C-alpha cells in the first residue's frame, strides 16, 4: 500500500485532508483515484489506514478506517555527525533514518573541510529523512538539529545518559566494553568525526564533557561507513533493532 505523510492538525473525526507536496504526489504524479486505500503517517507515531474520498485543487480528502500507534524504541539513540563533503550527508541522513536513529546533530569540528554552519541544508536533509521514513515504514520522524559547533554538542551531551565519541585512534575500548548486553539505558549520544578525523584536543574536551572514546576496530573506516556501521551496531546493542519499527 502507498504511504504518505499527513499533518496531524488535519486529522478530524474519521477523516483527514492531505495537502502540499503529498497531495501533489497523489493527484498529479500517481493519479490515485477515489476508493484507493492508503496508509498515512503523522510523524508522531500514529498510522492511519485510510481511503481516498475526493481529489483535486491540491487537496485530497480521505476517510480514516483505522488507526494504530507505534511504540517507541527502548532507548533513544542520537548521533552527532561532523559535516561531510559531497552527497555524504544526504546518505547519512537516509541511513540513520532507516536504522531508527532518533535525532541527528550535524556539527563542525577542526578538521571539517566544510565549515559553513548556515548552508541551509537542514530543509533538504529533513526532506530526505521524510522520504526515508516513507520508504522504510517508520512512523516517527527523526529530527535533524541545526548545524552547531562541536563545543555546543559536547554541552548538549549532558542530556543523554550515555555519551560516546568514536575515535579512530582509540585502541582498547570497544562497544562491547561500554554497553554490555542487558544494561538498559534511556538515551545515548554518539559522535562521528569528519573525513579528517578528530584531533587529540577535541577528544580531551569530549572526555572532560563525559564522553567515552570508543573504537570501531583496527581498520580506519571512511566517515560515512563509520556513521552507518556504528549506528547499526549501537542500535543492536541497545536493543533497538527488534522492537516495533519507528
Listed in order, strand segments (DSSP E) in 10-137 are 15-18, 37-41, 46-56, 59-69, 76-82, 103-108
Q: How far is the CB of 117 from ligand SAH (least distance, A)?
A: 19
Q: Which residues contact 49 (CB under 8 A, 6 or more apart)?
A: 37, 39, 64, 65, 66, 67
Instruction: Answer yes or no whether residue 101 interacts with ligand SAH by CB under 6 A.
Output: no
Report the C-alpha gap between 96 and 106 in whole angstroms.
12
- Taking CB under 6 A as the criterion, the residue among 91, 221, 232, 241 binding ligand SAH is 221
Instruction: Answer yes or no whether residue 215 interacts with ligand SAH by CB under 6 A.
Output: yes
Q: What angle do CA 148, 238, 169 make, to 5 degrees?
A: 55
Q: How far is the CB of 90 from ligand SAH (least distance, A)?
A: 17
Instruction: Answer yes or no whether residue 220 interacts with ligand SAH by CB under 6 A.
Output: yes
Helix (H) or strand (E) holding 214: strand 212-214
Of 84, 95, 82, 83, the closest CA to residue 128 belongs to 95
Instruction: Answer yes or no whether residue 146 interacts with ligand SAH by CB under 6 A.
Output: no
Of 89 and 216, which has the nearer Cβ to ligand SAH? 216
Q: How far is the CB of 225 from ligand SAH (least distance, A)?
A: 7
Name the closest residue to ligand SAH (Cβ). Answer: 193
Instruction: Answer yes or no whether residue 198 interacts with ligand SAH by CB under 6 A.
Output: yes
Of 180, 178, 172, 175, the closest CA to residue 218 belongs to 172
Of 4 and 192, which has the nearer Cβ to ligand SAH? 192
Of 8 and 197, which has the nearer Cβ to ligand SAH? 197
- Give, to the nearest 10 degrees, the angle between helix 223-237 and helix 88-98: 10
Interacting residue ranges for ligand SAH, rule: CB under 6 A? 166-168, 170, 192-193, 195-198, 215-217, 219-221, 223, 226
Amino acid at each position: 500500500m502507498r504511504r504518505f505523510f499527513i499533518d496531524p492538525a488535519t486529522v478530524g473525526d474519521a477523516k483527514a485532508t492531505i495537502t502540499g507536496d503529498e497531495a501533489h504526489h497523489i493527484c498529479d504524479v500517481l493519479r490515485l483515484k477515489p476508493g484507493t486505500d492508503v496508509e498515512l503517517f503523522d510523524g508522531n507515531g500514529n498510522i492511519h489506514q485510510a481511503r481516498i474520498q475526493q481529489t483535486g485543487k491540491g487537496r485530497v480528502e480521505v476517510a480514516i478506517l483505522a488507526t494504530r500507534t507505534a511504540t517507541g524504541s527502548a532507548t533513544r539513540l542520537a548521533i552527532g555527525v561532523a559535516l561531510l563533503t559531497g552527497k555524504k550527508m544526504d546518505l547519512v541522513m537516509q541511513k540513520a533514518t532507516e536504522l531508527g536513529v532518533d535525532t541527528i546533530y550535524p556539527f563542525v569540528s577542526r578538521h571539517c573541510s566544510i565549515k559553513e554552519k548556515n548552508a541551509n541544508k537542514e530543509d533538504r536533509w529533513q526532506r530526505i529523512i521524510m522520504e526515508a521514513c516513507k520508504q522504510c515504514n517508520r512512523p516517527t520522524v527523526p529530527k535533524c538539529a541545526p548545524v552547531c559547533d562541536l563545543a555546543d554538542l559536547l554541552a548538549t551531551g549532558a542530556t543523554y545518559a550515555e555519551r560516546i565519541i568514536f575515535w579512530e585512534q582509540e585502541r582498547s575500548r570497544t562497544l562491547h566494553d561500554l554497553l554490555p548486553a542487558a544494561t538498559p539505558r534511556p538515551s545515548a549520544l554518539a559522535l562521528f568525526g569528519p573525513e579528517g578525523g578528530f584531533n587529540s584536543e577535541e577528544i580531551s574536551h569530549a572526555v572532560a564533557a563525559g564522553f567515552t572514546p570508543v573504537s570501531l576496530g583496527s581498520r580506519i573506516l571512511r566517515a560515512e561507513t563509520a556513521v552507518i556501521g556504528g549506528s547499526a551496531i549501537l542500535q543492536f546493542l541497545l536493543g533497538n533493532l527488534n522492537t516495533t519499527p519507528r
